[in-house]
Amino acid sequence: MPELIRYAISDRVAVITIDNPPVNALSPAVWTGIDEAIARANADPQADAIVLIGAGSTFIAGADIKVFDVLKTRDDSMKRSDGTHALLRRMEDSAKPLVAAIHGNALGGGMEVAMSCHFRVAGKDAKVGQPEVLLGIIPGAGGTQRLPRLAGAELALTMCTDGKPVAAPKARAAGMIDEIIEGDLSSGAIAFAKAKAAKKETRKTRDIAVPADAVKGGLDACAKMRASLAKTARGMRAPFAVVDAVEFGLQNGFDKGSVRERELFADCVVSTESKALRHLFFAEREVAKIPDVPKDTPTGDIRRAAVVGAGTMGGGIAMNYANAGIPVLLKEIDQAALDRGMATIRKNYEVTMSKGKLTPEQVEKTIALITPTTSYDGFDQVDIVTEAVFENMDLKKATFAEIGKVTRPDCILASNSSTLDIDEFARASGRPAQVLGHHYFSPANVMKLLEIVRGRDTDKSVLSTSLKLAKRLNKVGVVVGNCFGFVANRMLAYYMREAYLLLEEGASVEQIDRVLTTFGLPVGPYGMQDIAGIDVGARIRHYLKSIGKSRAEGPQSEVPDRLYEMGRYGQKTGAGWYKYDAPGSRNRTSDPLIEQLAEEAATKRGIKRRPVADDEILARITTALANEGARVLDEGFATRAGDIDIVYVYGFGFPRQSGGPMFYADTVGLPTVLSRVKEYRDRFGDYWQPAPLLERLVKEGRGFYSEAPATVG
Ligand code: 3HC
């Protein structure tokens, strides 16, 4: 086994190398190893100074996140951080100059280790940051106390509350880094350390004095940050805890501030918010692992792409390719539709430009990568075609038959269908092994999810190429099975069914949307439908009806179809579940017509409308999701419960701090979820049936995550 910590003398400098692949995370053994190596260097007559450096691609990416799972109580956490804080003080007390040499990332505990060194040097591409908040915790190894002393309270607050890393040049200007090293980092760091040794120079970050005016400025920054978080981080714990810790330190000094930091860290690390966010961190990395697709499966390069259909989705997909620097052909059936599609694309880029996120030159350069066309000329040159025509089986099959003929045999043929059977397209193409689903979420150029739908004959290399491509397009690719609606929309049908039925029973559109947005979704079910288009869902329902199927068991509310018949398609027509100022406007007001339609539908179904409590709305909708999610999992259409969570977090903005619908069900407790399903069955009818997996897990006393108990506090 390679040594986690290596010790060597170079030119009278002790070089301590951390070698814990892949990211040099601070496991307990790494912490101890660093501590021992620094003590050894201090006692070593051959060493005048010490350099701490990382092996591989990075310095230290932080504490080992898995270790937090063993901290079951606040006391566990306090004990562990007492040890860590003492260790970092020992580092700072080193009699010989101690220099952190940073390449790659110094994140979280990695940055805290670096700040406990006397000096920091870095390669120009290195980054430093305190991303703990993204895991529902705060910097717990002195970061909230040392960072304000180096970078000032304002920047420290920003870094610790948004979690974004800062590039080395900016970090140098702000005082976090002492020198940028051009060329070999190790030699540069050794030379730097020798120079400090020659002057017998050391500097403890904890002893940097904060002048009175800086304290005042820092306290003002804390107040401002709290006010801003009240709008952006409502209902979250960690970002506010960061401000509390920084503020306490400014008011009471380093030692007391450090104690307060430990307490606040302990509160956060055992919170459900942190467990949920840590779960998502690993779930997001797990999704790329498909059990029967080995890591070394060959992947193809996507150098050129094509998209068929320049509607809202097709245009958004073409933008994804262009944004990634991949030239893309965008095909429409006639010039007018193509012009409309290109005009929308241009408008989208201009909006981004008006926000200062793109320069005019960047806009032109990116748009130039999209070549509009009404023919298949050039399709024999592309590596992938994404079909994004209307959601109609015959039309899609005809499109696949055509693209099967005009492309090279190794070209990937992907469908953006949101519901239909991928295997039918595969047959129509004549090249089933190359066919799969690439289901984007609206707006396709914004939402991070890509459902990669595996057909019966999809080749493994087509899947691995798609996963690699997803990363390049800045998406999270999740491989799912080919059932109706795949994972996202299959479960969504149950979510929408409950939303519709709750409306008929007496809740209002506004109430239901409010309950879901208060829970943390960016938009409620009705607001979402108005954005996506009521016509889209109606067409799918009508198609299913024509083949004798429905999207979800149970009564189908007639209200959405009534709106469709009235031409109320949502925002685009100026009316849907809400009324809008004008077609395309987002300014909405409620419409009494909806209550009237709901009354009529309720009367027809013999339902006496009643006030519905907010709790019931949330419970019904989340239970419907988890119960159907359990079926999806049991039937093998999702590989892991975590994959479903990722689909919902990135596809629909399901609140991250809940961990996704499956993790949330675990926190509610599966026995409670099961008893709710049974209660709803008794109240509403047999269309509510517990998923077999849910029953099995409850019987075994487990949650969806085997190591998680069925109820989390
Ligand atoms: N602990 C444990 N495992 C970690 C880890 C960490 N801090 N950081 C990354 N990993 C693992 C990943 O799970 C992944 O494992 P896998 O290969 O088995 O799936 C592997 O390292 C590679 O990670 P990525 O796939 O994310 O690699 P990238 O190159 O895309 O990104 C990175 C590298 C930017 C370092 C990214 O991994 C990252 O952001 N890591 C987390 C950083 C972080 O949050 N640090 C703070 C931790 S909490 C802390 O330090 C508390 C302290 O205040 C006490």
Q: State the Cα–Cα distance between residues 399 and 388, nearest whole angstrom.
A: 10
Q: What is the CA radius of gyration of the chain?
A: 28
Instruction: Evaluate whether 313 touches 416 at the Cβ level (below 8 Å).
Output: yes
**Ligand 1 pocket, 160 CB below 6 A?**
no
pLDDT of residue 26: 97
pLDDT of residue 391: 84
Q: Which one-letter DSSP state was computed for residue 522? A: S
Q: Which residues contact 72 (CB under 8 A, 6 or more apart)?
A: 270
pLDDT of residue 550: 72
Q: State the Cα–Cα distance between residues 554 and 505, nearest whole angstrom.
A: 14
Instruction: Evaluate whether 236 touches 127 at the Cβ level (below 8 Å).
Output: no
pLDDT of residue 713: 38
Model confidence pLDDT, tens digit, residues 355-393: 999 999 999 999 999 999 999 999 999 999 999 998 888
Determine whether 35 is exposed, middle or buried from the number of CB atoms within 10 Å of its CB (0-12, 13-18, 19+). Answer: middle
Find the 100 Cα to ligand 1 centroid distance in Å: 20
Helix (H) / strand (E) element for 439: namely strand 435-440
**Ligand 1 pocket, 131 CB below 6 A?**
yes
Find the 628 Cα to ligand 1 centroid distance in Å: 32
Model confidence pLDDT, tens digit, residues 445-467: 999 999 999 999 999 999 999 99
Q: Which two tokens stand for residue 32?
A: 């101890």
Q: Which residues contact 174 (CB under 8 A, 6 or more apart)?
A: 150, 151, 152, 155, 166
Residue 549's pLDDT band (cuts 50, 70, 90): confident
Burial 353-368 (b: 16+ CB within 10 A, else e): eeeeebeeeebeebee
Say if strands 105-107 and 127-129 run parallel, antiparallel, or are unpaired: parallel
From the CA of 62, give the closest atom in ligand 1.
50
Residue nearest to atom 53 of ligand 1 (CA): 139
Burial 541-565 (b: 16+ CB within 10 A, else e): beebeeeeeebbebbbbbbbbbbbe
**Ligand 1 pocket, 23 CB below 6 A?**
yes
Q: State the Cα–Cα distance between residues 82 and 73, nearest whole angstrom.
A: 14
- Rounded to the nearest integer, the mean pLDDT of the chain is 95
Q: Which two tokens stand for residue 518?
A: 């208060």
Given a cut of 50, whether residue 527 has pLDDT beyond it is yes
Given a cut of 80, whether residue 544 has pLDDT beyond it is no
Model confidence pLDDT, tens digit, residues 76-95: 999 999 999 999 999 999 99
Model confidence pLDDT, tens digit, residues 168-196: 999 999 999 999 999 999 999 999 999 99
**Ligand 1 pocket, 322 CB below 6 A?**
no
Q: Could you list the active site residues?
A: 112, 132
* SS3 at position 566: coil
Counting residues of the chain whose pLDDT is more than 90, the rounded percentage is 92
Q: What is the mean pLDDT of residues 201-221?
A: 97
Residue 129 — φ and ψ, nearest 5°? -175, 165
pLDDT of residue 709: 45
Q: State the Cα–Cα distance between residues 303 and 320, nearest whole angstrom.
A: 14
Q: Which two tokens stand for residue 326?
A: 């991949």
From the CA of 285, give the closest atom in ligand 1.
19
Model confidence pLDDT, tens digit, residues 645-665: 999 999 999 999 999 999 999
Find the 109 Cα to ligand 1 centroid distance in Å: 11
Q: Which residue intervals of 393-487 are DSSP H helices? A: 393-406, 422-429, 460-472
Q: Which residue intervals of 132-167 are DSSP H helices? A: 143-151, 153-162
**Ligand 1 pocket, 105 CB below 6 A?**
yes
Q: Is the dihedral of CA 61, 289, 691, 549 positive or negative?
A: positive
Find the 22 Cα to ligand 1 centroid distance in Å: 9
* SS3 at position 67: helix
pLDDT of residue 541: 80
Q: State the Cα–Cα distance between residues 517 and 655, nearest whole angstrom.
A: 9
Model confidence pLDDT, tens digit, residues 121-164: 999 999 999 999 999 999 999 999 999 999 999 999 999 999 99
To test the pocket of ligand 1, the residue of 20, 23, 71, 125 to mutate (highest count of ligand atoms within 8 Å of its CB) is: 23
Q: Which residue intervals of 44-167 are DSSP H helices? A: 74-92, 109-116, 143-151, 153-162
pLDDT of residue 234: 84
Q: State the Cα–Cα distance between residues 190 and 118, nearest whole angstrom.
A: 14
pLDDT of residue 708: 47
Q: What is the mean pLDDT of residues 237-260?
A: 98
User: Could you tell me which of 127, 175, 184 has the C-alpha nearest to residue 152?
Assistant: 175
Q: Is the dihedral of CA 350, 355, 361, 367 positive or negative?
A: negative
Q: Which one-letter DSSP state was computed for residue 267? A: H
Break the chain down into helix, strand, coil percent, rounded to 5. 55, 15, 35
User: Could you tell me which of 642, 631, 678 has the C-alpha nearest to residue 494?
Assistant: 631
Instruction: Evaluate whether 316 touches 338 at the Cβ level (below 8 Å).
Output: no
Neighbour tally for 180: CB within 10 Å: 16
What does pTM read for this prediction? 0.93
Residue nearest to atom 1 of ligand 1 (CA): 64
Q: How many helices (H) and strands (E) does the chain have?
A: 28, 19
Q: State the Cα–Cα distance between residues 398 and 42, nearest whole angstrom.
A: 75
User: Could you tell me which of 2, 11, 4 has the C-alpha nearest to residue 46?
Assistant: 11
Residue 2's pLDDT band (cuts 50, 70, 90): low
Given a cut of 70, whether residue 711 has pLDDT beyond it is no
